[in-house]
Amino acid sequence: MILTLVQALIFVAYVTFLLIKFKGPLHSISESWYKLKYPLRILFNLFCLVLGITMTLYDQSIFFFFSGVGLTAVGVASWSQSSEKLTRYIHFGGAISGMLFALLGVGFGGADWLPLSVWAIGSIFMLLFKIKNNFWWIEILAFVTIIIGLLNL
């Protein structure tokens, strides 16, 4: 439970920092790497690495390990808008796997499929109705549902 609360604190602190600094949500959380200037840009890398490493520490399901690897990959492959295809694939693949595997871990590790269902339905809704900054809100929804699921493990 303490690990989950630490992750929640880190996530809330970083997202709050971004909302204040940029006066609202960005296109995605990853965009903060581009918007922040050196040396603040490293905050995104640290954010991903810390969340990724801590995610690997859950032992209820192997899916949490894969989620952590994905989140760590996002931090390593920060240049999501790079012209280098491999970097983009690593970044986006890491982001999707970081969210999806964590939700699968909650499902298989805690037999709680509600977080995955809420995230999937909410994400489809945001994409279909073209909600402004929908990737930002999909990431926020993923994190909220993951934390709720982890707290119920």
Which residue pairs, CB below 8 angstroms and at least 24 apart, start in 141-147?
Answer: 142/99, 142/102, 142/103, 143/11, 145/103, 145/115, 145/116, 145/118, 145/119, 146/99, 146/102, 146/103, 146/106, 146/115, 147/4, 147/7, 147/8, 147/11
**Residue 84 pLDDT:** 79
pLDDT tens-digit readout, 45-95: 999 999 999 999 999 999 999 999 999 999 998 866 666 788 889 999 999
**Residue 78 pLDDT:** 81
Band the pLDDT of 41: cuts 50, 70, 90.
very high
**Residue 86 pLDDT:** 86
* pLDDT above 90 (res 40): yes
**Residue 80 pLDDT:** 61
pTM greater than the 0.85 cutoff? yes
**Residue 149 pLDDT:** 97
User: Residue ranges per domain, the chain?
Assistant: 2-151
pLDDT tens-digit readout, 111-146: 999 999 999 999 999 999 999 999 999 999 999 999
